[in-house]
Chains A and B, each alone.
Chain A
Amino acid sequence: MSSKTHEIAHDVAEHPVHGTAIYWWIGLYLTLVTGGEIACFYFEHVIGPWVTPLILALSAVKFALVVMFYMHLKYDSRVFSGIFIFGAALGTLAITGVTILYHVLDVLR
């Protein structure tokens, strides 16, 4: 098979190069961040109006950790990242669009 056929091929390793330890670490981070989210919820009165963005930021971190490490996007082809980010971006667009229309510009409801 000539390498010419691999036009946008990245030399992708079939297996991640590292061992499984990193997965355990990620698992730990996920647990900690989840703990952080829940703490935010319970200390809402302390944190004030910043809870919502804070919780959203924490969950974005979790999202990124799972997608990058458990779903291997960090190591895998950029084509996959592109496809996923496209879908995720449109999904986010739909959510934010509707949320803005209903909760920011809700002139008549």
Chain B
Amino acid sequence: MMSRVEAVRVRSARERGPAATIVSRLRSLAVRAVPGLLTLALAACGGAETFPQTTFAPKSDYAIQIDHLQMLTIYLGVGVGVAIFCILAFILLRFRHRPGAPEPKHVHGNATLEVAWTLIPAVLLAIIAVPTVRTIFATQAPPPADALEIDVRGFQWWWQFGYPQPNGDTIFTANEIHVPVGRPVVLKLRSADVIHSFWIPQMGGKRDVVPGRTNEIVFTPLEEGVYLGQCAEFCGSSHALMKMRLVAHKPADFQKWLAHQAQPAAEPTDSAVMVGKKLVTAGACAGCHTIDGTSASFGKTAPNLTHVASRTTIAAGVLANNARDLTAWIHDPQSVKPDARMPNLGLKPDEIRYIVAYLQTLY
């Protein structure tokens, strides 16, 4: 399960020279050029291993319903297209001008033909339209009563996920949404600033996250795994870097995860970590970030860091969650993510080291 996650870990572009990559890619292109588009088409249907954001490997009831409809339109579309191309090719070959050929007869039209080519497309469209309408109503039905409700909030450029608890509290995490397999999930989509769009292709279609509205997605994850997604509505500079992932657990594992997330932050034991804690909770960080169980308890505009170390990535899927990337992030968020809403606080390398040490204990 983790291998794919690793594969997607963002590799810094500086690691490989641009020329080398392009040449090697050209070579691989040449190798693949022979089977050409066929390979692509097959690859397209092929697994989420190569294409973690594919729409062709649906893993929820919602995604499967869409997939059926989408495949129908693809078959029909390819069929119509191929038919038109064949007719066109035939005509162009058969009726090309030949020297000495007589001038063609002047035909002005034919009512039967006109009716035929009005009706045939109409029938084909009806074949798409009926399941379309049916799927629209099926996929937008109200959620079942036992559905797990998750509050999703889009921020420029990260995601916040909240799990309302029976006691009225909400457990917050960022950029990684955890769900149990087999239970309907209803996402309540809201935005903190501009329009975003929530999209995890293998879980189903996207839905815009519109400020001033509450949108919904209802789906039941069917298979354990990690599924990648990203924001799909242009939302400013770093729209490309507003990613997320969904982790589908066995129900028991999910409960375990949730129980862990409900815990307050781990208390430091190490003295360096203690320094880090102080820098974070007493410093500027607390103005935006919350760490439950510490004095940093009021920040609402930034990811909740209580269990930040338990996440696979940071900064909405852009960096790995390791010391090096954390350092890079805190050192200069904007160089990682253009216009990131977290300021560059001009911290000294030492301070950052302590902070990172602390953050890494927040498991």
Count of B interface residues, CB-CB < 8 Å: 4
The B contact surface, by secondary structure, is loop
B215 within 8 A of A: yes
Complex Cα spacing A108 to B212, Å? 9
A35-79 interface bits toward B, Cβ cutoff 8 Å, 1 = contact, 0 = none: 000000000000000000000000000000000000000000000
Q: How far is the CB of B201 from chain A (nearest CB, A)?
A: 23
With the chains together, A54 CA to B7 CA distance in Å?
Answer: 67
Chain A residues touching B, majority SS: loop
Which residues of the partner chain A approach B215 to less than 8 Å between Cβ atoms? 108
B200-224 interface with A by 8 A CB criterion: 212-215
State in angstroms the CA–CA spacing of A76 and B214 once bound together: 52
Interface residues in B215-249 (C-beta closer than 8 Å to A): 215
Question: Within the assembled complex, what's the spacing in Å between the Cα atoms of A109 and B212?
Answer: 8
In this complex, how many residues of chain A approach chain B with their Cβ under 8 Å: the count is: 2
Could you give, for residues 143-177 of chain B, a 1 whenever the CB lies within 8 Å of some chain A CB and a 0 otherwise?
Answer: 00000000000000000000000000000000000
B172 CB, min distance to chain A CBs, angstroms: 24
Contacts of A109 in B (CB 8 A): 212-213
A104 to chain B, nearest CB (A): 17
Cα–Cα distance between A96 and B213 once the two chains are bound (Å): 22
Measured in the bound complex, the distance between the Cα atoms of B213 and A109 in whole Å is 6
> Which residues of chain A come closer than 8 Å to B214, judged between CB atoms?
108
Cα of A34 to Cα of B287 in the assembled complex, Å: 60
Alpha-carbon distance between A88 and B214 when the two chains are bound, in angstroms: 35
Q: Which chain B positions have C-beta within 8 A of A108?
A: 213-215
Bound complex: CA A65 to CA B213 (Å): 43
User: What's the least CB distance linking A107 to chain B, in Å?
Assistant: 9
* Cβ proximity bits A12-26 to B, threshold 8 Å, 1 near / 0 not: 000000000000000
Q: Which residue of A lies closest to B213 (CB)?
A: A108
A45 → B minimal CB distance (Å): 34
Give the docked Cα–Cα distance between A74 and B212 (Å).
48
Chain A's closest residue to B215 (CB) is: A108
Expressed in whole angstroms, the minimum distance between the Cβ of B216 and any Cβ of chain A is 8
A108 CA to B209 CA, complexed, in Å = 12
Q: Which residues of B contact A (CB under 8 A)?
A: 212-215
Q: Which residues of A contact B (CB under 8 A)?
A: 108-109
A–B complex contacts, Cβ < 8 Å, 5 sampled: A108-B213, A108-B214, A108-B215, A109-B212, A109-B213
